[in-house]
Chain A
Amino acid sequence: MFVATGRSKLNAAQRRYLRRFLPAMLVYSVVIMVSGNAIGHHRVSGGLLIALSIAPALPLLCAIAAVGLYLHEETDEYIRMRAVIGSLGGTGLVLATGTIWGFLEQGGVLPHLPAWFVFPLWAVGLGLSQWVCNLRDRWSGGAE
């Protein structure tokens, strides 16, 4: 969501974001292994299959909520603007990739892309946008 550079310290909103986001991703990594193992190696069906299938999405929803709360709580308007630009970069990458991939998939050129791919792809776009912002900040000079 944000990139702390150099000697910059995390502000209160950034610390709260990490306190929400990191545990959510930790829970996600455990749940995805447990549910994947259960669905792959055991004959589950009905309600249990639905519950195991949806389980990995829940911590990711918490991670998405953490992003939204961070944007709401960040009081440094320039840092918030950069986070919003990063989010737009991620959204743009998801829309562009989904559009191109969808038509190529329809034409039989590419295989089916699972819908859960949107969140990691969005995160990649966010990271790339933040990286570009950081480079621009560094090249602009004037830092003391």
Chain B
Amino acid sequence: MTNRLRDLRAQRGWSQQHLADQLDVSRQSVNAIETGRYDPSLPLAFKIAELFDLAIEDVFISPSKES
């Protein structure tokens, strides 16, 4: 599933490790989500969206809406 996590993180000047610490996950997890190799669970997706103060669909792109 495509997401904007890398862009959102870059806008805030955060490292992957900093984001991982905020989310209480490993840096590998952040990397896997950013590169689309792992789709987070709904609770983790909500946690990510809330951290950026965005709606979940503003961070994660629905597969049905991808061109």
Which A residues lie at the B interface, using CB under 8 A? 5, 8, 11, 75-79, 81, 136-137, 140-144
Contacts and interface: CB of A to CB of B under 8 A. Distances in A.
B28 A137 contact: yes
A141 B35 contact: yes
Contact of B25 (A78, A141, A144): A78
Contacts of A144: 15-17
B31 interface: yes
Nearest to A79: B26
B31 to A, nearest CB: 5
B41 interface: yes
B26 A76 contact: yes
A141 B6 CA distance: 13
B29 A76 contact: yes
Contacts, number: 47
Interface in B9-49: 15-17, 24-29, 31-35, 37-38, 40-41, 44
Nearest to B41: A77
Given A76-B25, A142-B35, A144-B17, 20 more contacts: A5-B28, A8-B26, A8-B27, A75-B24, A76-B26, A77-B25, A77-B29, A77-B41, A78-B26, A78-B32, A78-B33, A79-B25, A79-B26, A79-B29, A137-B28, A137-B31, A140-B31, A140-B35, A141-B35, A142-B6
A142 B44 CA distance: 20
A48 to B, nearest CB: 48
A143 B15 CA distance: 9
B3 to A, nearest CB: 13
A11 B31 contact: no
Nearest to B6: A142
A79 B41 contact: no
16 contacts: A75-B24, A76-B26, A77-B25, A78-B25, A78-B28, A78-B32, A78-B38, A78-B40, A79-B25, A137-B28, A137-B32, A140-B31, A142-B6, A142-B16, A143-B16, A143-B27
